Amino acid sequence: MSKSAQFIDYFLSHREVTKELAAKIDPEHYTYKPTPTSMEAQKLVNHIIETTYTFVRLANKQDPEKLFDEIDSTELSEKVNTYTEATVKLLSSLSDDNFEQVIDVSQIVGKRIPASQLLNMAMDHEINHKGNLFVYLREIGHTDLPMYVKV
Protein backbone atom coordinates (compact mmCIF):
# COMPACT_ATOMS: atom_id res chain seq x y z
CA MET A 1 0.00 0.00 0.00
CA SER A 2 1.45 3.38 -0.99
CA LYS A 3 2.13 6.04 1.65
CA SER A 4 -0.44 8.19 -0.07
CA ALA A 5 -3.18 5.52 0.16
CA GLN A 6 -2.30 4.86 3.81
CA PHE A 7 -2.44 8.55 4.64
CA ILE A 8 -5.77 9.01 2.83
CA ASP A 9 -7.26 6.20 4.96
CA TYR A 10 -5.96 7.87 8.10
CA PHE A 11 -7.23 11.31 6.98
CA LEU A 12 -10.70 9.97 6.16
CA SER A 13 -10.96 8.06 9.46
CA HIS A 14 -11.06 11.49 11.13
CA ARG A 15 -12.60 13.62 8.35
CA GLU A 16 -15.69 11.39 8.18
CA VAL A 17 -16.26 12.31 11.84
CA THR A 18 -15.67 16.04 11.21
CA LYS A 19 -18.22 15.77 8.40
CA GLU A 20 -20.76 13.98 10.61
CA LEU A 21 -20.41 16.62 13.34
CA ALA A 22 -20.67 19.51 10.84
CA ALA A 23 -23.87 18.00 9.39
CA LYS A 24 -25.45 18.07 12.86
CA ILE A 25 -25.03 21.85 13.18
CA ASP A 26 -28.23 23.44 11.86
CA PRO A 27 -27.91 26.97 10.40
CA GLU A 28 -29.44 28.57 13.51
CA HIS A 29 -26.42 27.32 15.48
CA TYR A 30 -23.75 28.37 12.95
CA THR A 31 -22.84 31.32 15.18
CA TYR A 32 -23.01 29.37 18.45
CA LYS A 33 -19.97 29.79 20.68
CA PRO A 34 -19.49 28.41 24.22
CA THR A 35 -17.85 31.59 25.60
CA PRO A 36 -17.31 35.13 24.28
CA THR A 37 -13.67 34.36 23.42
CA SER A 38 -14.43 31.05 21.61
CA MET A 39 -14.59 30.57 17.84
CA GLU A 40 -18.14 30.33 16.42
CA ALA A 41 -19.19 26.80 15.40
CA GLN A 42 -19.20 27.68 11.71
CA LYS A 43 -15.79 29.35 11.88
CA LEU A 44 -14.38 26.39 13.77
CA VAL A 45 -15.46 23.96 11.03
CA ASN A 46 -14.12 26.27 8.31
CA HIS A 47 -10.84 26.63 10.22
CA ILE A 48 -10.45 22.83 10.40
CA ILE A 49 -11.10 22.11 6.72
CA GLU A 50 -9.16 25.14 5.42
CA THR A 51 -6.11 24.46 7.59
CA THR A 52 -5.84 20.79 6.67
CA TYR A 53 -6.14 21.75 2.98
CA THR A 54 -3.49 24.47 3.40
CA PHE A 55 -1.03 22.02 4.97
CA VAL A 56 -1.70 19.47 2.20
CA ARG A 57 -1.16 22.20 -0.45
CA LEU A 58 2.16 23.09 1.21
CA ALA A 59 3.18 19.41 1.38
CA ASN A 60 2.56 19.44 -2.41
CA LYS A 61 4.71 22.60 -2.78
CA GLN A 62 1.64 24.59 -3.82
CA ASP A 63 0.61 27.94 -2.39
CA PRO A 64 -2.43 27.93 -0.08
CA GLU A 65 -5.81 28.75 -1.63
CA LYS A 66 -9.34 29.10 -0.26
CA LEU A 67 -12.18 27.31 -2.04
CA PHE A 68 -14.92 29.65 -0.75
CA ASP A 69 -15.11 33.39 -0.04
CA GLU A 70 -15.28 34.53 3.57
CA ILE A 71 -18.96 35.53 3.12
CA ASP A 72 -20.03 32.53 1.01
CA SER A 73 -23.35 31.13 2.25
CA THR A 74 -22.92 27.54 1.03
CA GLU A 75 -24.15 25.01 3.62
CA LEU A 76 -21.47 23.91 6.04
CA SER A 77 -21.59 20.22 5.17
CA GLU A 78 -21.31 21.01 1.46
CA LYS A 79 -18.19 23.05 2.22
CA VAL A 80 -16.78 20.09 4.13
CA ASN A 81 -17.45 17.83 1.14
CA THR A 82 -15.78 20.22 -1.32
CA TYR A 83 -12.66 20.58 0.84
CA THR A 84 -12.53 16.84 1.51
CA GLU A 85 -12.59 16.01 -2.21
CA ALA A 86 -9.91 18.60 -3.00
CA THR A 87 -7.75 17.35 -0.10
CA VAL A 88 -8.00 13.70 -1.15
CA LYS A 89 -7.21 14.62 -4.76
CA LEU A 90 -4.02 16.41 -3.70
CA LEU A 91 -2.99 13.61 -1.34
CA SER A 92 -3.48 11.08 -4.15
CA SER A 93 -0.90 12.89 -6.25
CA LEU A 94 1.90 12.42 -3.67
CA SER A 95 4.48 9.72 -4.44
CA ASP A 96 6.25 7.84 -1.64
CA ASP A 97 9.30 10.04 -2.32
CA ASN A 98 7.22 13.19 -1.98
CA PHE A 99 6.54 12.22 1.64
CA GLU A 100 10.26 12.58 2.41
CA GLN A 101 10.71 15.93 0.64
CA VAL A 102 11.66 18.79 2.93
CA ILE A 103 9.11 21.62 2.94
CA ASP A 104 10.02 25.13 4.03
CA VAL A 105 7.32 26.08 6.52
CA SER A 106 9.59 28.34 8.57
CA GLN A 107 7.01 31.14 8.39
CA ILE A 108 4.34 28.91 9.97
CA VAL A 109 6.14 26.52 12.33
CA GLY A 110 9.60 28.10 12.39
CA LYS A 111 11.40 25.28 10.57
CA ARG A 112 11.86 23.14 7.48
CA ILE A 113 10.31 19.68 7.91
CA PRO A 114 9.58 16.61 5.75
CA ALA A 115 6.17 16.57 4.05
CA SER A 116 5.19 13.50 6.15
CA GLN A 117 5.69 15.48 9.36
CA LEU A 118 3.72 18.44 7.98
CA LEU A 119 0.86 16.10 7.07
CA ASN A 120 0.85 14.61 10.57
CA MET A 121 0.75 18.12 12.04
CA ALA A 122 -2.30 18.82 9.86
CA MET A 123 -4.01 15.74 11.33
CA ASP A 124 -3.17 16.69 14.94
CA HIS A 125 -4.60 20.16 14.22
CA GLU A 126 -7.84 18.67 12.85
CA ILE A 127 -8.18 16.17 15.72
CA ASN A 128 -7.64 18.91 18.32
CA HIS A 129 -10.32 21.20 16.88
CA LYS A 130 -12.68 18.31 16.22
CA GLY A 131 -12.26 17.64 19.95
CA ASN A 132 -13.46 21.21 20.60
CA LEU A 133 -16.40 20.63 18.26
CA PHE A 134 -17.64 17.59 20.22
CA VAL A 135 -18.24 19.84 23.26
CA TYR A 136 -20.06 22.43 21.09
CA LEU A 137 -22.32 19.69 19.71
CA ARG A 138 -23.29 18.44 23.16
CA GLU A 139 -24.00 22.03 24.23
CA ILE A 140 -26.34 22.66 21.32
CA GLY A 141 -28.29 19.59 22.39
CA HIS A 142 -26.83 16.56 20.60
CA THR A 143 -26.18 13.50 22.74
CA ASP A 144 -26.01 10.88 19.98
CA LEU A 145 -22.45 11.52 18.84
CA PRO A 146 -20.00 9.36 16.87
CA MET A 147 -16.68 8.00 18.19
CA TYR A 148 -13.83 10.48 17.63
CA VAL A 149 -12.43 8.25 14.86
CA LYS A 150 -13.92 5.72 12.42
CA VAL A 151 -12.28 2.34 12.95
Binding site for a second copy (CB under 8 A): 14, 34-35, 37-38, 109-110, 121, 123-125, 127-136, 138-139, 143, 148-149, 151
- Considering the complex, state which of residue 57 and residue 142 has its C-beta at the smaller distance from a second copy: 142
With a CB cutoff of 8 Å and minimum separation 6, the contacts of 82 are 67, 68, 74
Residue 109's alpha-carbon distances to 64, 82, 150, in angstroms, are: 15, 27, 29
Min separation Cβ 79 and a second copy, Å = 20
Q: What are phi and psi of 33, to 5 degrees?
A: -140, 140
Min separation Cβ 109 and a second copy, Å = 6
- Considering the complex, state which of residue 17 and residue 76 has its C-beta at the smaller distance from a second copy: 17
- Considering the complex, state which of residue 30 and residue 68 has its C-beta at the smaller distance from a second copy: 30
- Report yes or no: 45 and 25 within 8 Å, Cβ to Cβ: yes
- Considering the complex, state which of residue 63 and residue 144 has its C-beta at the smaller distance from a second copy: 144
Secondary structure element (H or E) that encloses residue 128, with its range: helix 115-139
Residue 33 buriedness (CB in 10 A; 0-12 / 13-18 / 19+): middle
Min separation Cβ 83 and a second copy, Å = 19
Min separation Cβ 11 and a second copy, Å = 12
